[in-house]
Structure 1
Amino acid sequence: MEAASLSNIDAIRAGVAKVSGDFTVALESLGFKRTKKMVWLRQRGNVVERIGMLRLGATGPALDASVRLRLIFSVDDLSGQRLTSGPDDGLIYGDHLRDSDGRGYHLRFNASSWSTYDRCVADLTRIVREQGLPWFDSQQDAAAN
């Protein structure tokens, strides 16, 4: 493996660790607790709301220091069994969503230059507030009926 690839891998690892930490701070204010490296849970009543974050393109050699992320929203019962169903196994993928103006959320940054890092963290939080929380509320309403 070339030295450049190793530095890209190290930069990506550091970038993922930093974005996970900064995202954790934002989610704590919404009642979510980090339970794994990139999983946050919030219990409401008899359900557990789950936010997972994945790094896209995580296999193969790192050609550059770009970090692309995906948020996944789901709802489980207290034993961990998924309660949501429908397209994509009841999961909501954040990178497929658009804001109220029809624009995609910016879920990527460069881990070497930190280009667009602040925008990425802001949009991770914004997608939770604009899309995730209302979706979780709709799942609560469905579970109550």
Structure 2
Amino acid sequence: MNVEASSKTPIVRAGMERISRDFSEGLAGLGYARTRSKFWTRRYEHHLEFIHLFRSGSSYGAPYNASISLRVHLGIAVLDDEREPTWLNGPNSSDLALFHADRFHLRFNAASGSTYERCLEDLLRFATTRAEPWFSTWREPTALLDEERSPLDGEARAALARALRGEASSERVALTLKRFGVPVAGARAKRPRAAEAAS
């Protein structure tokens, strides 16, 4: 790693934390909680809806400049399905076949702040105009189980069917919640407050 690249690491890290914190504030009104550094979740009786934020190039080592480019992934996790890794089984913001016309601008410069506000606005626009309708389509367990286009694979559907029969394992559920950073203790809400307010 060269010195110039290593000097960008704290700048990019701070930029990622800033956008994550501001994204959290924007998502709070929709009922999401930031449960891991780049995961926001909503819990239902038998599943979680989650949004994952990914920095492009993060798997290639230290950043070479202060530019941050983001991708947003959506997913649904069945609580009784404790498999790892986390399955990103929903659409993501880089899918041009779905979102080309939206022109989401999901990048900014962490050093100068250039296009930061636009990036944040478009992250929240993706959440409200694209993520919310997609999650709404799959909110009911019957849709997740029976619809041909369900984002769940066979094992996840089997886990959901078990849960609906009352056969969920508290150990499996606890492992899933731990993987997503969701507190295990406390009352289980079948619907988040945001969903209740919207109904």
Q: What is the TM-score when the length of structure 1 is the normalising length?
A: 0.84
- 1:40 partner SS: strand
Residues 1-145 of structure 1 mapped to structure 2, 5 A cutoff:
1-58=1-58, 59-80=60-81, 90-96=89-95, 97-98=98-99, 102-141=101-140, 142-143=143-144
Residue 43 to residue 14, structure 1, CA distance change in 2 (3 Å): same
Listed as ranges, the gaps of 5+ residues in structure 1 are 83-87
SS of structure 2 residue aligned to 1:42? strand
Structure 1 residues 26 and 123 mapped into 2: Cα distance closer, same or farther (>3 Å)? same
Task: Give the letter for the 2:21 counterpart.
Answer: G
Normalising to structure 2: TM-score of the pair? 0.63
Letter in 2 for 1:98: F
Flag the structure with more relative contact order, 1 or 2, with Cα contacts below 8 A and sequence separation at least 6. 2
Partner-residue secondary structure (3-state), 2:64: coil
What amino acid is the match of 2:38? M
Whole-Å separation in 2 of the counterparts to 1:119 and 1:47: 32
Please list every run of 5 or more consecutive structure 2 residues that lacks an aligned counterpart in the other structure: 147-199
How many residue pairs end up in the alignment?
138
| Cα distance, 1:61–1:47 mapped onto 2, change above 3 Å | closer
Alignment deviations for residues 84-139 of structure 1 (CA, whole Å, 9 cap, x no partner)? xxxx963211222427xx13211110001110001111100000101000000111
Matched-pair contact (CA < 8 Å) for 2:46–2:80: no
Q: CA RMSD in A?
A: 2.2
Q: Secondary structure at the match of 2:102?
A: coil
**Conserved 8 A contact 1:94-1:127:** yes
* 2:116 alignment partner AA: Y
Structure with bigger helix share is 2
| Contact kept in structure 2, 1:95 and 1:107, CA below 8 Å | no
Q: Tell me the distance in 2 between the aligned counterparts of 1:2 and 1:139.
A: 47
Q: 2:30 aligns to what SS in structure 1?
A: coil
CA 1:75–1:64 in 2, change beyond 3 Å: closer, same or farther? same
Deviation string, structure 1 residues 9-29 (Cα, Å, up to 9, x no partner): 111011001001000111111
Percent identity of the aligned residues? 33
Report SS of the residue matched to 1:31.
Answer: coil
Deviation for aligned residue 1:140: 1.6
Using the TM superposition, name which of 40-49 and 65-74 deviates more. Answer: 40-49
Residue equivalent to 1:85: none
